């Protein structure tokens, strides 16, 4: 959960998740929908799917015990060398280096390593320093400490060097060049893509949700159907066997943007209110009606969470 997400955001999700899935076996038994339900709102849903797949493999291949070696851990979905190192060091107190974003920043500054992120030579140098610094004794304390140092003291924009226990030996600090390390990849301005989301509401106030494909953004989460921005209500209606006579009212909501890591999605919601008398679209494995007041026992995309809360105000307008 902490990959790409701040601890303060994670805490309530972590507590809820652990209450629902208190063991690897319980997590392995859950359906993907159930796991995604407990991840809704946290983003980067691939982490939830990998965690679920890893739990299934731990039960199937490791008798339900989380493996204690970097090799075995990295063979599980979603666990790279650094995460494996953190598990081995903190959970099993065995020596293994880590190189997450925070540690990478501390080491880059301390040793003034300024290569391109991801370049083989930079990675090699950073891992070599990570390995050389990882102690045999109290490796759990060291690992937590260097991660926390990066997260709270050697922070990206204004490192708190006067408070840093490494200040007297840190190359970047001695040169007054903390901000030159690590070198930042040039940010390209985010592309903008456009889409229409059709928010169909039946006579009972329930909204039509569609399960998204297993790959791509918001994979396997439930959401109002997404279409290209030029799709008309009648073209959408044809797909769902909704003749225009069944529609009481349509309404275009204000556009808004959702930022993904590499692009922004500009979303135009189109609200489609059906007549109370019309026959309903049948529920299938990837279509369901969901009343916004009910608890969703499945994962919702971020756009679904937002649009479901706005239905009432659109009905009145």
Footprint on this chain of ligand SF4 (rule: CB under 6 A): 106, 109-110, 153-154, 159, 161, 164, 166-167, 170, 172-173, 178
* Smallest separation (angstroms) from ligand SF4 to the CB of 5: 22
Q: Which is nearer to ligand SF4, 159 or 253 (CB)?
A: 159
Euclidean distance between CA atoms 18 and 12, whole angstroms: 10
Nearer to ligand SF4, 139 or 170 (CB): 170
Nearest approach, Cβ of 77 to ligand SF4 (angstroms)? 33
Smallest gap from Cβ 143 to ligand SF4, in A, equals: 16
Q: C-beta of 109: minimal distance to ligand SF4 in Å?
A: 4
Report the length, in residues, of the chain: 317
C-beta closer to ligand SF4: residue 117 or 194: 117
What does DSSP say about strands 207-211 and 287-290: parallel, antiparallel, or unpaired? antiparallel
Taking the least distance from each CB to ligand SF4, the nearer of 1 and 161 is 161
97 or 150: CB nearest ligand SF4: 150
Q: CB-wise, 166 or 287, nearer to ligand SF4?
A: 166
Nearest to 83 by CA among 142, 1, 148: 1
Nearer to ligand SF4, 24 or 146 (CB): 146
Check whether the bond before 263 is cis (ω within 30° of 0).
no
Quote the least distance from Cβ 138 to ligand SF4, whole Å. Answer: 20
Closest approach of ligand SF4 to the CB of residue 184, in Å = 15
CB of residue 165 to ligand SF4, shortest distance in Å: 8
């Amino acid at each position: 959960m902490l990959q790409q997400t701040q601890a303060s955001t994670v805490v309530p999700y972590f507590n809820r998740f652990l209450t629902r899935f208190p063991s690897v076996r319980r997590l392995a038994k859950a359906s993907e929908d159930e796991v995604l339900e407990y991840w809704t709102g946290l983003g980067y849903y691939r982490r939830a799917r990998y965690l679920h797949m890893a739990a299934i493999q731990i039960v199937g291949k490791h008798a339900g015990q989380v493996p204690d070696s970097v090799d075995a851990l990295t063979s599980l979905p979603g666990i790279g060398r650094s995460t494996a190192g953190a598990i081995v060091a903190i959970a099993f107190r065995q020596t293994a280096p880590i190189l997450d974003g925070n540690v990478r920043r501390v080491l880059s500054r301390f040793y003034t390593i300024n290569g391109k992120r991801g370049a083989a030579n930079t990675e090699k140098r950073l891992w070599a320093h990570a390995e050389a610094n990882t102690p045999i004794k109290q490796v759990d304390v060291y690992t937590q400490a260097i991660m926390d140092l990066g997260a709270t003291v050697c922070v990206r924009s204004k490192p708190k060097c006067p408070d840093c226990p490494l200040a007297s030996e840190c190359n970047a600090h001695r040169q007054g060049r903390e901000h030159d390390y690590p070198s930042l990849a040039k940010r390209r301005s985010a592309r903008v893509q456009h889409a229409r989301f059709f928010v169909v509401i039946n006579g009972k106030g329930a909204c039509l949700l569609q399960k998204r494909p297993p790959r791509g953004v918001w994979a396997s989460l439930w959401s109002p159907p997404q279409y290209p921005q030029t799709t008309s209500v009648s073209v959408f209606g044809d797909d769902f066997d909704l003749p225009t006579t069944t529609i009481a009212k349509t309404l275009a909501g204000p556009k808004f943007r959702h930022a993904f890591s590499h692009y922004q999605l500009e979303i135009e919601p189109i609200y489609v209110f059906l007549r109370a008398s019309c026959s309903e679209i049948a529920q299938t494995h990837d279509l369901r009606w969901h009343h916004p007041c009910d608890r969703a026992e499945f994962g919702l995309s971020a756009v679904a969470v937002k649009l479901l809360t706005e239905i009432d105000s659109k009905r009145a307008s």
